[in-house]
Every structure is written in C-alpha cells, then in structure tokens.
Amino acid sequence: MKIVILDAYAANPGDLSWDEFAALGELTVYDRTAQEDAAARIGDAEVVFINKVRLTDEIFAACPNLKLVSILATGYNIVDLAAAKRRGITVCNVPGYSTRAVVQMTFALLLEICQQVGLHSGAVHTGRWQTCPDFCFWNRPLIELDGKTMGIVGYGAIGTAVGAVAQALGMKLLVTARHEKPVPEGARFVSLPELLAQSDVVSLHCPQTAENARMIDAGALAQMKDGAILLNTARGGLLDEQAVADALRSGKLLAAGMDVVSAEPIRADNPLLTAPNCFLTPHIAWAPLETRRRLQAIENFSDLGSGIHIAMQDLDIRGAGNLLGAEQSGFIADLGYETYQKILSEAVKELKNDEFGDLYAEEIRKGNDLGGENFVDECALESDLQMSFPDDYVPSSSERMLLYRELDGLERGEDVEAFRLRMKDRFGEIPEEGEELIRVVTLRHLGKCLGAEKIFLKAGRMVLYFVQNEKSAYFESKAFGQCIAYAAMNAHRSNLREANGRRSMVIQEVRSVKDAVGILRQISELQAV
C-alpha cells in the first residue's frame, strides 16, 4: 500500500516521528505541497494524509487508485466530500484530539485581552516598574470576568468545554447552535440574535459551512453590545473581517482574539492586521506537542474504510489479542492509557450501532438478546441535586477529591457497598447528600444497562437519552422494550419522545437519586413489549 503525506510539517516539524506510519505501507512524506502539485505527488497512492491541502474532484480524477483521504485535523471543509463519495473514496478526520488545547487557547486570548499580560510584562522589562512612584501600575484598564456573560456559538465538544470553564470563572452562559441541545444548569439555549445582544464575550466554536460563511458581518456586529469582546478559534471564514476591523476602530468591539483568519497564512492586506485591540495568533490552538502526538496516535489506529469520524474499527479486524503488546504499546503511551481506552470503547460502541448494526440485529432476532450495555459505553449524569461529601464530614479537600475519583471508578455493586462501609467506619454515618452521591454509581450502571447514554435529573424529573443512532439494533433489544413497557404502564408520569432524531424518555416526579435508582430497577425487572 502506498501512502503519501502532502503537508507534514505543520503536524510534525521534526519533534515527532513518522515511523509508525511507515510501518503501514510504502510511505512518502512531503513537508509542504503547493496546490498545483497535489495530484502529481499523490500519483498512484491508495492513501493520502493532508492537513490544509485542498482535494478537489479534479485531483480525485487524476488519482484513480486513491481509496482513503485522512485529514490530520478536525475540519474537513478542505475536501470535496460529494466528489469523494461519488468516487468511493473514504474521508476520515480526527475530532476530539485537540479539544482541551483549543479551549486553552480560547481563554488564553480572552485573558490576554482582560489582563494584558504581554503589555505589562514588556513594561516591567523596560524599567517602568522600577521607576514607578507607586507599588503597582497598569497601562490599560483590566477586566474581571466574574458576572460577565459568555455567548458560545456552536455547542459541540469544544463549545461545551469552553462553557464549563466560563462557568467556573463565574460567567453567565448563553449557547446557540444549529439544533437545540441540553445545556448545564445556569445556562440558556437562545437564538443567535439574542446571544449577540446579551453577551459580553462572543466565542465561535462552530464548523464553517456554506450557510454560515461570514455570519459575523456588519449586521451581526450591530446587534452586539457596545464594548463586547469577539473570539474566534474555529474558522476565519465565519467572519466578515473588514466589518470586524471597522467595529474595532469604532469602539463597537472592545477587542477581538483570533487564532484563525479567512486566508492562511494571513495576507498583508488583511484588515485585522491594522485594527486596534486585535490579538492574532497563527492558527496554533491545536498545536501543543501533546495534541499533535495524540493526533498521530489516533491516525495510526484509523480504519481505512470508515466515514467521517474518529476511526479505530481496524482493531476489530486485527483482533484484540495483541492490543497491549509491544507492537502497539507505543501508541498507548502516546495517547495516554485512559484516552486510549476511551477511544477504543467509543469505536466499539460505534461499530455496534452503525457499521455492524445488522449483525447485532440478527443476534437479537435469533433470540440472543443483547442488553443496553452492549450499545452504550458509558452513561453520563447531569443533575441539580445536592450530591457530595460535606466539608464537615470529610474535612480535607484533597481527600474528598481522592474519594470522588475512587467512587467514579467503581462498577460492581459489591465494590460500592464495600466503599460505603469503609466510609462509615472511617468518618461515621454518611449524610444524605453523601449517600446520594454513592447511589450515582448504581444509577449510571442501571442507565447503561437500559441503553441510556445520558441521564438528566433536574427540576423534579428524569430524562433518559437513548442510543443516538435511531437505526441502531438497540431499538430491537429487550432493554428498549422494557422502557416502552414502563412508559405504557405509567403514562401519567412518563412518555417517550423523539426530537432531532434522538429518542428519550421523560419521567416526572423524580426528586432524588434514590427515586431514580428505584425507577430504573423497576424498568429492569419488566417484561419487554
């Protein structure tokens, strides 16, 4: 198999190795490739890795052996997907590898705007502090984020993580996205105009599409608060850059932080270069060593026949016998064992619900029923209930953290009970909020067994969000049948619903984790319909 990497330098300027890629086939690596040279360099290769080189239908036509395009990034707008599909070429990207790094950059830009660290460090180094008549000075007004409103446009993995950090800093949170999504306590899902009008900080975290190109134009900027801050770590094409520059000059925008621009590298005539209070970085949010190492490791485990998703399905083909052997241990080391396990679990779940869904459905039809845990890797919980070990019960904060981490790792009922007995023996009778926390382990286990990917336990009701793929064999399983049976028997307090292709069940009058555990146990004991 011939493999070509067209623009390797960005992902690996020399601090990482391509050896693991070379082990997959005959590898040719180009640090950089001009657009006009792409077809010739791909030639008769079956696999091509790209970062920013654009692949068009014309290039595909000139490269008839091409079977796989693997993007060393998250965004896939550089590939003509329709042309690839028409020609039977699989396209893979790598979502998730740089989420934390992009969140970090988002707040690096925001905090630089608020605290002006670079400006004041420069002033200190030039002697300003030495000659200052006061014990401190500031060259520009500083901004406190607590109480300000963060508006997040796009609420995928990165947007969600940015929102969590914003709330941790005491910010209010508004969210908008193409489709309405659940948001954490204290946040609101609103329309884009409402978000623009009410936000002190607007941060973009959505993919660029034909529909949202230049969405932040003069009209959108006019809707924003006077003196708002604009952040963009997504795609430069989301902005009308001239309009943003004009808003900075007029004072409509206090400042802007940009890691991306419409044409990269940035052109000399880009209006943002001369705009006041515009902080620009050269598209480096994704670039920490750790994220690039993770990117390489994930790509090396990519299935050569998957669609646009993180792909590790080849593990099923290779077999699991040597997963932890010497041959692959380097990948695990690069990823981090916990991250590796998570990616593997997600890949297996995806196989069950998508590519191999028919096989699982056939197993069910044969009477070999599969529980919900066969389709769900983990059941997450979001709740507004009081669940913790109080300070007066476990005084040490570090010890509480260790206990929380230990509890989170428990799965078996006997382990949970042993944990409870140890707590009683060491700290005394467990307060109710501590008991509620311990019950969460059982709740998540029951939810997983019933095929719930997420449980919302808020405002006196429980919502079970089932397997996201509505065509999954899960919906023929006994577990889903039990949920249907419960809804039919308890129509006064529960109902099944479907919104945006996602099925869920709402159960009213659930006011504690204890109540929720009791209900899920009832469901688990029912005969499926």
CA distance 379 to 376: 7
- Which member of 283, 294, 439, 503 is catalytic? 283
CA quadruple 13, 19, 23, 28: dihedral, nearest 10: 40
Helix (H) or strand (E) holding 26: strand 26-29
Neighbours of 282 (CB within 10 A): 11
CA distance 463 to 241: 42
Cis amide linkage into residue 265, ω under 30° from 0: yes
CA distance 36 to 266: 20
Any catalytic annotation for residue 309? no
What are the φ and ψ backbone dihedral angles of 68, each rounded to 5 degrees? -140, 130
Cα of first residue to Cα of last residue in the chain, in angstroms, is 50
Here the tokens at position 512 are 């504690």
What are the φ and ψ backbone dihedral angles of 511, each rounded to 5 degrees? -110, 5
Here the tokens at position 11 are 């992902």
Alpha helices by DSSP H, 336-462: 337-353, 357-365, 397-408, 413-427, 432-449
Cis amide linkage into residue 13, ω under 30° from 0: no
Q: With contact defined as beta carbons under 8 Å apart, do 277 and 255 qualify?
A: yes
Name the packing angle between helices 357-365 and 337-353 (round to 10°).
60
Enumerate residues 6+ apart whose C-beta is below 8 A from 440. Answer: 381, 387, 407, 513
Helix (H) or strand (E) holding 84: helix 81-86
Any catalytic annotation for residue 87? no
Here the tokens at position 155 are 């609420």
> Counting every residue, how long is the chain?
529
Any catalytic annotation for residue 414? no
- Which member of 120, 235, 294, 503 is catalytic? 235
The closest alpha carbon to 261, from 229, 221, 219, 232, belongs to 232
The single-letter code of the amino acid at 204 is L
The single-letter code of the amino acid at 22 is A
Name the packing angle between helices 513-524 and 432-449 (round to 10°).
30
Here the tokens at position 411 are 């799965």
Here the tokens at position 373 are 């845990």
Degrees to nearest 5, angle at CA 472 with 323 and 175: 90
Longest dimension (CA), the chain: 85
Give catalytic residues, as residue numbers: 235, 264, 283
